[in-house]
Chains A and B, each alone.
Chain A
Amino acid sequence: MFRNLYLEIQKYRLKDNKFICLFDNEPVDEVVVFDTETTGLDPNKDNILSIGAVKVVGNKILSSESFEVFVKQSDNYEGRSESIKIHKIRDCDLKNGILINEAIDKFINFIGSRPLVGYYLEFDISMINKYFKKMSGISLPNREIEVSALYHDMKIGRIPQSNVDLRLSSIIADLKIPTLTNHDALSDAVMTAMIYLKLKNNY
């Protein structure tokens, strides 16, 4: 009930009608798992380098319809060397990238009204919102599913009062998820999608 009220308010605040797809009815048993690569961990001052996302329908990760964009950066942007080291995103990848507003447009179009799934989703969503708010007047209204929370609940349910190791690599190892060697946004989104499917089906 509150959710409906919340959606009505957001819809009312929405400045640009091209984002109205966000308010469609949620498709049954579909989510979007996504991840962003950024120049740093501070949403206020860091930028998005790339966004990777996949739809999960039922128990299937539709990697054949995956979403991946690189965002154009100004020369010598802040955090350049780190992003090359960590994300293996080279200058040439970003040169061919698109402007951030276009990237957000495409991303919104991709996710529609589907719930969003991610690992430390809060950060990724606030990175998106940093731009999306300026464009639309609202924050992403989609439902959010945090896999580390799902994992935590599952673990606590089994061993109460324990300290749950929530590092991504630990979760992957514990759930016996095949590890992808690359750590770009899309690969991470796919791995997170596998974690999500496993948790959804087992616990």
Chain B
Amino acid sequence: MLKNELEKFYKLIHPFETLDETDLEYLIKLTDIAYYRRSEQIIAKNSATNKLYLILKGRVIEYRDNDEVVSIYNEYESFDANSLLYGSSENKFIVDEELICYEIPKNIFLSFIEKYKSFRSYYVEGLAKKINSAKERERNSSMASFMLAKVSDLFLHKVAIVSPETSILDALKLKEEMKSSAIIVEDGIYRGIVTDSNLRNVILTGRNTAEPIKNIAVSPIKTIQHNDFLFNALLTFVKYQIKRVVILKNKEIVGILEQMDILSYFSNQSHLIAVQIERASTVEELMEISNGLVSIIKRFFESGVKVRHSSKLVNELNRKIYYKLALMIFPKDLHSEITIFTMGSEGRREQILKTDQDNGLIISRDEFRDEVSIYAKIFSEKLVLIGYPECEGNIMVSNPYWIETLAGYMRRISEHVLKPTPTALMELAIMFDSESVFGNEDPLLEMREFIAHRLTDNLHSTNSFASATLQFETPISFFRSFLVDNKHGGELDIKKGGIFPIVHGIRSLAISNNILETNTVGRIKELNNREIFSREFALELIESFDFFLTLRLKTRLQKLALNKQPDNYVDPVKLSPLEREILKDSLKIVDKFKKLIKHKFQLDRL
């Protein structure tokens, strides 16, 4: 009988084999069979469908907008549960090989989702898995970014340009001065290049360095326009087997592009920037490099790098900029007398787009205070120029409050612990999350250990410190709907709602467990190692945290592109259905985590 036929079919398909007899019979009664021709579109993008399709014979391909294949469905596979679950389809579904399929109505499918755990866990996948597939979707443009990058997107090496009659020695001097990678010889008509290997030959052959440079220059030179595609530059390198090409803006030489630059551009962009920072000799140059960081972050984001990884790299680069700037500004004899440290998210290496400066300074002895203060002011001013805006709370070295000896800081810490006002607690929190960026590291380590000791000295201070975790309501209701901020255009504050509770709760656990690691994910891992919570929960927490950061980065990049001030607000309506679901799941995990904190620090007794 046909019934047996369908029964057999369903028994072979997970999770339908878990249906009980009544439901299976009911399902069989409601099953239709449909035929679709090759290249017919079964589900259009953004359309509502009311059926689940199970393939009996044939093949269907799911395409994204740009005709990129998302998924292929073969015999005994079903599609598209997401359209049914989230009301509309994210992609289009086209028949690739003549299709005969069973169709089951939406309602019965949803009733199974509700009734059977097997259906839920199969179709409404685990959180981590969902996040990964969302990330997969974001990854689509990494190849495109390679194809579309322009020569001008790259850092170009400065070039020393000399006239043909300049002596070899003078040209070499200029090259060294400019830290240029090659010398261009130019007089309007003639153009040649002198590279390091040419110069080496001068020495090896015992040539007179007073000779005009034109005698050793190689001509003609290969050039490429600055707005040409990087891809074409790569082709030029391969075609002519050369290692560098001169970049023109119209007819003017603007720099040199090395083959290595392209390679590292795609393999290790951060390395290239690090080199640039090291070579920089003026504040203006640091400024330029720092401006380029935004596009690097974008590219990281587009190529699907987890935010917690890319933020580490970006913070590394920020630290290098801080270091280089301090090196330029503070006189040499002060270097060993000071410690400059960043606090809060920068200290935790979680700052992804540059925001406010949060920094402080430890002086070795009181007598340096006045002198250091002068340079510290300049330091802060230059940081603003480079692109790190002033901190609203004035937490920066230009503020005398943040220039102190270790003993001075310790005194203050003790006072804060004794009088734990909210401001005092937040100050302790950001000071505990600090990292040195310049000078002597030891005093900072001492200071952090001191904070941990003072806070764990008595239970009451530990608990009142931890209580801040609960100060904001998680913006999700019991019925999984978002609690948005109507005063803020129906958006929700993802920092208060998700990021802060995790950061602070984890920080509290770190302090009470004497963990000195500053990074939140690092702390979670360490807490897991010490079996404070289960591995599963640790993973969920990390994924949720990463998702919040990703979402914040994504909306911030969008706001930047619209010339709006990047903030912590996210509009749930503008998210994709999948992102909305993940956001809900993640907020639920925050709730779970808050309960754990409440329990661990006995906060219901406060």
Contacts and interface: CB of A to CB of B under 8 A. Distances in A.
A180 B2 contact: yes
A64 B32 contact: yes
A190 B31 CA distance: 13
A63 B2 contact: yes
Contact of B1 (A187, A198, A202): A187
Given A178-B56, A187-B1, A194-B100, A61 B34 contact: yes
A60 B34 contact: yes
Contacts of A64: 29-32
Contacts of B36: 59
Given A178-B56, A178-B57, A61 B2 contact: no
Interface of B: 1-2, 4-6, 8, 29-37, 56-57, 98, 100, 103
Interface string A146-188: 0000000000000000000000000000001110111010110
Nearest to B104: A64
8 contacts: A61-B32, A61-B33, A178-B100, A181-B5, A182-B4, A187-B2, A190-B33, A194-B33
B35 A194 contact: yes
Nearest to A66: B2
A197 B36 CA distance: 9
A63 B32 contact: yes
Contacts of B37: 59, 201-202
A198 B30 contact: no
B32 A62 contact: yes
Contacts of B4: 182
Contacts of A60: 32-35, 103
Contacts of B29: 64
Nearest to A189: B2
Contacts of A178: 56-57, 100
Given A194-B100, A198-B98, A180 B5 contact: yes
Nearest to A196: B35
A62, A63, A190, most chain B CB atoms within 10 A:
A63
A201 B5 CA distance: 25
A171 to B, nearest CB: 15
Contacts of B6: 63
B5 A182 contact: yes
Contact of A63 (B8, B33, B35): B33
Contacts of A197: 35
Contacts of A176: 57, 98
A177 B33 CA distance: 13
Contact of B2 (A59, A62, A182): A182
A198 B56 contact: no
B34 A59 contact: yes
Contact of A182 (B1, B30, B31): B1
Interface string A30-67: 00000000000000000000001000000111111010
Contacts of B5: 180-182, 187, 190
A198 B56 CA distance: 14
Contacts of A62: 32
A184 B1 contact: yes
A184 B2 CA distance: 8
A197 B31 CA distance: 17
Contacts of A63: 2, 6, 31-33
Nearest to B5: A180
A22 B8 CA distance: 36
A3 B98 CA distance: 35
Contacts of A52: 2
Contacts of A66: 2
A162 to B, nearest CB: 24
Nearest to B6: A63
A197 B99 CA distance: 11
B427 to A, nearest CB: 68
A170 B41 CA distance: 30
Nearest to A181: B5
Given A182-B2, A182-B4, A193-B33, 7 more contacts: A59-B36, A60-B32, A60-B33, A61-B33, A181-B8, A182-B1, A190-B2
A92 B253 CA distance: 95
B35 A61 contact: yes
Contacts of A180: 2, 5
Interface in A115-167: none
A194 to B, nearest CB: 6
A181 to B, nearest CB: 7
Nearest to A176: B57
Contacts of A68: 1-2
A57 to B, nearest CB: 9
Contact of A59 (B8, B31, B35, B57): B35
A59 B8 CA distance: 24
A186 to B, nearest CB: 5
Nearest to A60: B34
A190 B34 CA distance: 11
Contacts of B56: 178
Contacts of B57: 176-178
Contacts of A181: 5, 8
Nearest to A178: B57
Interface centre among A180, A193, A194 (most CB of B within 10 A): A180
B2 A198 contact: no
